Amino acid sequence: MMEKTEANMIERKSLHLELVERIRPLIIDSQLVPGRKVPEKDLCERFQVSRTPMREALKVLASEGLVRLEPNRGAWVTTVTTNEVKEVFPILGVLEALSGELACKYITDAEIREVRALHEDMLQSYRARDLAAYFESNQKIHRAILLAARNDTLTKSCQTLSARMQRARYIANMSEERWANAVSEHEQIIKTLEARDGQSLSAVLVEHMKNKQDSVLRWLSTTQTDQEL
C-alpha cells in the first residue's frame, strides 16, 4: 500500500543542492580555509561534476554568506570578522530565545528526556575534557530545542547564521573558565526546559549567546587582525 506521507516521498536532489550540502561542511570545519579562494576546479574534479552545477552551488553558498563572489575573480571563503560576530550573535540570541519559547510549548515529554540524555552526554564529555565530543553534544542539544519549536523556517534561519559563526577552530580556543560557565548555563537551559518555563529559557539562551559572542570576540582579538570582509 502506497502511503502519501512526506516521509515516503521519493527524494530526488539536484546536483547543485547536493554540492551545496557537501561543500557547506567543508567550509564550516575550515577544510576550505577562510580568506582563501574556493578552488573551483579542484572541487569539480573531486566531486566529478562540471563547472555549471558547481558554480550554481557557489552562488547559493554566497547567498548564505559562506563564500563571497568577486566579479571576474571567483569565489572566496569568507572569514569571520569582529563586525560580523557583533551582528550575527545578537540575531541568533533572539532567534534561539524564540525557539526556546516555542519549544516549551510544543516539546513532548519524550523529547525532553532525549535532551536530558544529550545533556548528560555533554557533561560526560566535559568531565573527560573531550572538546570535540562536548561540542557535538552541545550542537545536538541546541538542534533538539530548535526542532521542538516546530518551525522549519526558524530552524533554517538559525542554522544558516550559525554556520557562519561555526568555523571549527573556535571551539578549540574556549577558555577553561568559559567552558565551566557554558556548562552551568546549560544546566539552566535543561532545567527551564524541563519546567517548560519559556520566559526563563529565553532569557538563559540570550545570555548564553551573549557569552558565546564575548568568547568568540576574545579569541578573535588574540589571533588575527581582521584581514578582509
Partner DNA sequence: AGATGTAATTTTGAATTCATAATTAAGTCA
Partner DNA sequence: TGACTTAATTATGAATTCAAAATTACATCT
- Torsion sign over Cα 12, 15, 17, 18: positive
From 46-54, 84-92, 128-136, 208-216, give the range in contact with DNA by CB under 7 A: 46-54
Q: Is 117 in the site for DNA (CB under 7 A)?
A: no
Q: Is 41 in the site for DNA (CB under 7 A)?
A: yes
Kindly report the length of the chain.
Answer: 229
Binding partner of residue 102 among a second copy, DNA, none, CB cut-off 5 to 8 Å per kind: a second copy
Q: Is 183 in the site for DNA (CB under 7 A)?
A: no
Angle at 217 between CA 212 and CA 222, to 5 degrees: 130
Q: To 10 degrees, the CA torsion angle through 163, 227, 182, 201? A: -50
Give how many residues touch DNA by CB under 7 A.
19
Binding partner of residue 84 among a second copy, DNA, none, CB cut-off 5 to 8 Å per kind: a second copy
Q: Which residues contact a second copy (rule: CB under 8 A)?
A: 12-14, 16-17, 52, 55-56, 59-60, 62-65, 69, 71-72, 84, 87-88, 90-91, 94-95, 97-98, 102, 151-154, 157, 161
- Distances in whole angstroms, Cα of residue 187 to Cα of each of 102, 118, 119, 165, 215: 19, 12, 8, 23, 19
| Amino acid occupying residue 74 | G
| Minimum CB distance to DNA, residue 56 (Å) | 7
DSSP string, 158-225: HHHHHHHH--GGGGGG--HHHHHHHHHHHHHHHHHHHTT-HHHHHHHHHHHHHHHHHHHHHHHHHH--
| Minimum CB distance to a second copy, residue 59 (Å) | 5
Closest-CA residue to 201 (of 142, 123, 137, 131): 142
| Minimum CB distance to a second copy, residue 154 (Å) | 6
Q: What is the Cα–Cα distance from 51 to 40, expressed in whole angstroms? A: 8
Other residues' Cβ atoms within 10 Å of the Cβ of residue 46: 13
| Minimum CB distance to a second copy, residue 223 (Å) | 22
Closest-CA residue to 14 (of 6, 22, 5): 22
Binding partner of residue 98 among DNA, a second copy, none, CB cut-off 5 to 8 Å per kind: a second copy
Binding partner of residue 111 among a second copy, DNA, none, CB cut-off 5 to 8 Å per kind: none
- Closer to DNA at the Cβ: 4 or 73? 73
- Closer to DNA at the Cβ: 41 or 105? 41
68-107 binders of DNA (CB under 7 A)? 69-75
Interacting residues with DNA (CB under 7 A): 14-16, 37, 40-41, 49-53, 55, 69-75
